[in-house]
A and B are shown apart, each in its own frame.
Chain A
Amino acid sequence: MKPHDSRALWIGALIVACLLSWAGGVHAQPLPRDSRDASVFRGGLVFANYCVTCHGINADGNGRAARLYDPRPANLRTTDKNDAYLGLIVKLGGQALGRSPFMPPWGAELTEEQMRDLVAYVRSLNLRADAAP
């Protein structure tokens, strides 16, 4: 199986999992577009399409391209960065913030909403109890 086939499979699996989760919910109402859950859902799709190559499907920095980089891609599950800082890294890229130059600037590719959704998704994965939103 080719790597990009794998990406498509992950995206499909994520969509199916989210749809099943919604369908099985107590409330069959669709999520309000501006709700946090909706933002996390959309952010997951953005992540699966653009970020998994380096950060991995588990967002732990172990994507298929991770071996190319030193420093390795960030483990987003344990990041101590707040939402504003994460948003800046996404928008401006790593180099602009004195971090890895291999983290591309996404500001010209993603909409503001997509970048906010991405940060919401990453925040939803964070395992650190002391991480500030």
Chain B
Amino acid sequence: MQFHPQPAIGSLVVAAACLFTGLPAGAAEHVLAQKGKAFSVKKLQVKVGDTVKFVNEDPFAHNVFSLSDAKSFDLGSFGQGGSKTVTLDKPGTVEVECAVHPDMRMVIEVGK
């Protein structure tokens, strides 16, 4: 017997997944690495509601914070293998820094 997934069922699965993860439908997760005392990308474009996950691939602690009007946050410090996620809920430019390594910076452009 062959299984043909129904579109309605697919939508239900996505909706359920969004409910469980707390993400708005259509929101994407972007994963960035912190490696070699640098963010893996210097610029990232996302949409309102998207999340960005920062993964520490260095053998020492990193931090992620931003003082931008579009999103002010500090995700705290986390060691090797650790990760932290932020949700970008307003459009604008978010300048992201690491408090431990002042030269680590990147920019997230949050579009509508």
Is the contact region of chain B dominated by helix, strand, or loop, or is it mixed? strand
Q: How far is the CB of B82 from chain A (nearest CB, A)?
A: 13
Output the nearest chain B residue to A49 by Cβ-Cβ distance: B102
Residues of B3-48 contacting chain A, CB below 8 A? none
Across chains A and B, the number of contacting residue pairs, with CB separation under 8 Å, is: 45
Q: How far is the CB of A115 from chain B (nearest CB, A)?
A: 14
Residues of A8-56 contacting chain B, CB below 8 A? 49-50, 53-54
Indicate if A72 sits at the interface (CB-CB under 8 A). no
Chain B positions within 8 Å of A, measured between CB atoms, are 60-61, 63, 65, 67, 72-74, 76-77, 97, 99-102, 105
Residues A104 and B63 in contact, CB atoms below 8 Å apart: yes
Residues B61 and A108 in contact, CB atoms below 8 Å apart: yes
Residues B72 and A68 in contact, CB atoms below 8 Å apart: yes
Given known pairs A69-B74, A93-B77, A104-B77, the reply for A3 and B67 (CB within 8 Å) is yes
Given known pairs A104-B63, A105-B61, the reply for A65 and B99 (CB within 8 Å) is yes
Chain A positions within 8 Å of B, measured between CB atoms, are 3-4, 7, 49-50, 53-54, 64-65, 67-69, 93, 101-102, 104-106, 108-109
Residues B76 and A101 in contact, CB atoms below 8 Å apart: yes
Pairs A–B under 8 Å by Cβ, sample size 13: A7-B102, A49-B102, A50-B102, A53-B97, A53-B102, A65-B65, A68-B67, A68-B73, A101-B76, A101-B77, A104-B63, A105-B61, A109-B61
